Structure 1
Amino acid sequence: MTDAALPTDKAAFRLGLETRLKKRYAQERRFRLYGQLAIVFALGFLALLVGRIGLQGYSTFIDYEVTQTIYVDPAKVDAADIGGANFDLLVADQMLAKLGEKDDEFGEASGKMMDIISNDFGFQLLKMIKADPSLIGKRVTLTGPVKADAALYYKGELKRSTPQDERKLDDRQLAWLDKMQASGAVTKGFNLGFLTKSDSTEPEQAGVLGAVVGSAMMLLVTAVLAVPIGVLAATYLEEFAPKTRWTDLIEVNINNLAAVPSIVYGLLGLAVFINWLHVPRSSPLVGGLVLALMALPTVIIATRSALKAVPPSIREAALGVGASRTQTVFHHVLPLAMPGVMTGAILSLAHALGETAPLLMIGMISFVPGVPEGFTGAATVLPVQVFIWENASERAFHERTAAAILVLLAFMIVMNLAAILLRRRFERRW
């Protein structure tokens, strides 16, 4: 046998080689370009998503408040029956008087004034007088938000140029708002109440505190159940379980469970936890149980991957110096795998935080005006709060929907950042 004959024409050989190299370099450049275009495309969609939500929701954090001094008229507030007084009407009449307006015979002007100032004024006044009845006959200074539609007018989202029959506030109400702003009674500031109040039927009084607390309580239940069980199950399957058909079947089913639609877990939770075990509906406990079932496969898979990444030499060295199998796993292998375990656990919890479908199946769509009183009390969570507000008829709730999404995204970014920092802090390179 002889070697294949090389081309006799060196110039032609060199030309062919240069042509092939040019093609290969061109292919590499195209591949890099496609990768860069894909990254730019993804970042563009992310910027579009966050920008759209931010533009719609940032105005929620702008608040317009009215400060007025109200005379608690003894003729309208009976000390023996404080709760029977109409404090909303009392506030509205005095605000009309300060604008140089008078109520008509049928109370139409007072009704229109109550449509532009929040009933929070009446609640504040009632609370103050109940706490100190001696305020009757005196003047008190109140500060509260304007109604949501009035705030939309100040923000420029409700325009005077719109025909009167196509907007909720008529020309007379808009004129009152202009007078109040010109007199300095209306001030613009940061809407801290959105972060410190819970849900309400009035958009200007609605906040996300109850949903944030409910989400935190639910995630606590999920973490307490899913993380220890998932880590122990993964450790047994990876380090102790014999490799048989049964363990192979279990592994396949765990991988399949990670891909099951989340609403199926909601149906399972409805059947098992609510109908059979009678766990209170719409509570952080039942929500955490359902999400723990959903997060468990992900925790197991992530933990097994972290255990596999530990070099076999660690196990061999520990066994070689006389450590038992259990000591080797729990004293050496698992601590070294802990960065990956923690990362997988936090990411699975972050994924569970954004789930809505399984929570709707277990009744967490109910209106909850306050902060959850306990793990078995009624609660709502951020994704469900977003769903409820987006389906509300009030226009002002839609901007609060976007603001709640921003809070949810901030919650998830913090969790993902924690996963990255923990991994970098404890990661070891082999």
Structure 2
Amino acid sequence: MSDTIVAGVPVTSAQPANRAPTDWRTTSMQHRIRRRYAAERRFRLIGLLAVAMSVGFLVFLLATMVGNGARGFTRTEIALPIDFPASGLGLTPQRLTGPGADLVLAGADIDSVVDQAATVAFGAGGTAYFSDGAAAAARSALKADPGLVRRKALLWLPAATGLDVAAKANGTPTDEATVARLRQGGRLVTRFNSGFLTMADSTDPTIVGIWGALKGSLLTMAVTLLIAFPVGVLSALYLEEYAPRNRWTDLIEVSINNLAAVPSIIFGLLGLAVFLNIFHLPRSAAIVGGLTLALMTMPVIVIVGRNAIKAVPPSIRDAALALGASPVQVVFDHVLPLALPGILTGTIIGMARALGETAPLLMIGMRAFIVTPPDRLTDPATVLPVQIFLWSDEISQGFVEKTSAAIIVLLVFLLAMNGIAIYFRNRFETRW
């Protein structure tokens, strides 16, 4: 009988007959232990690789979006000297400060003034250097400073799409040569475009903005929350605390679970059939989008709410009833406050899912070209995902970076909502 050392423990090759088969000191048991440890190391390595791959894909996605979208927050502008007194507009500072100043500016032929000044400054082809939004930028400058009509001013106006792309990325050789010449003369600059966050949609990528879609998303989410949250929470309370356990209750529970798994476009068809064709609500309005997304979010809130209510220990209910509380007081004074963190977390996660939906909103017509941000729930509106979809379908290369920039805004919005969910969960969470 020879002795060997296995894992630092002496083990004999010939085992006594009275030794148990599960004795860890035997050779076979030591072999099993080594195999178990090796399997655990392999599983840990596989898990680590899976996490590394997930992080790698996430970093690649964020780097791609930020790399392409950062340029969407900037705009290339060209300095253009304009002699307003010699332009023949016939405007005065008094007319631009009165109650009808907007109508006066709208009726003024600013486009011809900009084209004439561009021809004087850059020759016959100078008008091609500026985008279609150059006249709108000149109007904004006159509105901000009516005294410009009495003097010669140097205005920084948005460059054409080709020059804008060439100044920030790779453009055509002709555009790159023009950009280099203008930049060398100090007449071209690329700077942060605050208008991207304050303006609405446009056919010109140099003057588009995200505010119209962002405001439409806020109004739509407000309607969704005001309808889905109270109805979903009250439904969860009734099903969990008051509903009798019978065949009809089981049918309702199965139906709610199935509704949570229904494709979102089905809810768009439902909104089209009910809210537009039956109730004749305005098409492409925030109230219709909110009602449609509320139908989609409500089953999720009911399921999450029921799980949160079920997680409250029964001893809380028994103690409240023993102290003389009524069933309603038990629910609203004890059960609901303790279940509120889970309900709020699930609600905000459901709202974040609704914020990223596109298909149901396309079905109810929220893909219209909206140039004015909505002021009321019945005004024509669009939302961020639909705006991203519309811009991604544009031919102009300038919309590529605007699409990525809009995606960054949407991601920031979603991260903010998830941050709010984490805050509410930590703020109201009760540890047992």
Tell me which interval the TM-score lies in, with the shorter structure as reference length. Answer: 0.7 to 0.9
d(CA) in 2 for partners of 1:259 and 1:142?
Answer: 55
Q: Contact between 1:88 and 1:114, CA under 8 Å: does it hold in 2?
A: no
d(CA) in 1 for partners of 2:272 and 2:22?
Answer: 78
Deviation (angstroms), 1:90: 2.7
Which runs of 5 or more residues in structure 1 are unaligned?
A: 104-108, 161-170
C-alpha change, 1:400 and 1:13, in structure 2 (3 Å) is: same
Partner of residue 95, structure 1: 118
Deviates more, 1:144-153 or 1:82-91: 82-91
Q: Contact between 1:198 and 1:209, CA under 8 Å: does it hold in 2?
A: yes
Q: Deviations over 1:101-156 (max 9, x none)?
A: 3x3xxxxx2xxx33321333323445666899886563233222212221111113
Deviation (angstroms), 1:293: 0.2
Superposed, which structure 2 residues align to 1:90-169 within 5 Å?
A: 90-99=113-122, 101=123, 103=124, 109=125, 113-126=126-139, 138-160=151-173
C-alpha change, 1:195 and 1:126, in structure 2 (3 Å) is: closer
C-alpha change, 1:138 and 1:318, in structure 2 (3 Å) is: same
Deviation (angstroms), 1:61: 1.7
C-alpha change, 1:128 and 1:242, in structure 2 (3 Å) is: same
d(CA) in 1 for partners of 2:251 and 2:158?
Answer: 61
Q: Deviations over 1:295-352 (max 9, x none)?
A: 0000001111111111111001001111111110110010011000100110000000
C-alpha change, 1:266 and 1:307, in structure 2 (3 Å) is: same
1:20 matched to 2:32:
yes
> For residue 216 of structure 1, what is the amino acid of its counterpart?
L
Q: Deviations over 1:262-298 (max 9, x none)?
A: 0000000000000000111101000000000000000
> For residue 251 of structure 1, what is the amino acid of its counterpart?
E
Q: Contact between 1:121 and 1:142, CA under 8 Å: does it hold in 2?
A: no
Superposed, which structure 2 residues align to 1:10-409 within 5 Å?
A: 14-72=26-84, 74=86, 76-78=88-90, 86-99=109-122, 101=123, 103=124, 109=125, 113-126=126-139, 138-160=151-173, 171=174, 175-409=177-411
Give 3-state SS (helix, strand or coil) of 2:170's partner: coil
> For residue 148 of structure 1, what is the amino acid of its counterpart?
T
Deviation (angstroms), 1:176: 4.3
C-alpha change, 1:73 and 1:336, in structure 2 (3 Å) is: same
Deviation (angstroms), 1:159: 3.9
C-alpha change, 1:132 and 1:402, in structure 2 (3 Å) is: closer
d(CA) in 1 for partners of 2:28 and 2:306?
Answer: 50
C-alpha change, 1:234 and 1:201, in structure 2 (3 Å) is: same
C-alpha change, 1:380 and 1:192, in structure 2 (3 Å) is: same
Which runs of 5 or more residues in structure 2 are unaligned?
A: 1-16, 93-103
**TM-score using structure 1 length:** 0.88
Give 3-state SS (helix, strand or coil) of 2:26's partner: helix
C-alpha change, 1:316 and 1:66, in structure 2 (3 Å) is: same
Q: Contact between 2:133 and 2:206, CA under 8 Å: does it hold in 1?
A: no
Give 3-state SS (helix, strand or coil) of 2:89's partner: coil
**TM-score using structure 2 length:** 0.87
Q: Contact between 2:133 and 2:204, CA under 8 Å: does it hold in 1?
A: no
Q: Contact between 1:283 and 1:378, CA under 8 Å: does it hold in 2?
A: yes
Deviates more, 1:43-52 or 1:249-258: 43-52
d(CA) in 2 for partners of 1:196 and 1:131?
Answer: 16
Percent identity over the alignment is 45
Give 3-state SS (helix, strand or coil) of 2:76's partner: strand
Deviates more, 1:200-209 or 1:143-152: 143-152
Deviates more, 1:13-22 or 1:255-264: 13-22
Q: Deviations over 1:1-30 (max 9, x none)?
A: xxxx74489999611111111112222222
